[in-house]
């Protein structure tokens, strides 16, 4: 599984609070992916994608 954040992030922090193992807020207060996804957190990554209010998280399985 690979994940990326497309342009349009509004910096709400939902992904970072849902799955802090993969997402963090950068110095511009926008989300970024900072870690590889392991099998044990795949569901959290999907939940972060589904909860994103602007739907900018893209998952490649």
Q: Cα–chain-centroid distance for residue 12?
A: 11
- Residue 43 and residue 31: Cα distance in Å, rounded? 18
Q: Which DSSP symbol is given to 46?
A: H
Q: Report the greatest alpha carbon distance in the chain.
A: 29
Partners of 24 in the β-ladder: 32
The reported pLDDT for the residue numbered 6 is: 97
Write out the chain's pLDDT in tens, 61 residues.
Answer: 999 999 999 999 999 999 999 999 999 999 999 999 999 999 999 999 999 999 999 999 9
- Residue 43 and residue 41: Cα distance in Å, rounded? 5
The reported pLDDT for the residue numbered 27 is: 97
The reported pLDDT for the residue numbered 57 is: 98
In degrees, rounded to 5, the angle at the alpha carbon of residue 12 between the alpha carbons of residues 7 and 22 is 75
């Amino acid at each position: 599984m690979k994940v990326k954040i497309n342009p349009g992030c509004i910096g709400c922090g939902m992904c970072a609070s849902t799955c802090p193992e993969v997402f963090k807020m950068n110095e511009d207060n926008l989300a970024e992916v900072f870690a590889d996804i392991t099998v044990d957190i795949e569901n959290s990554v999907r939940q972060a994608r589904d909860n994103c209010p602007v739907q900018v998280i893209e998952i490649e399985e």
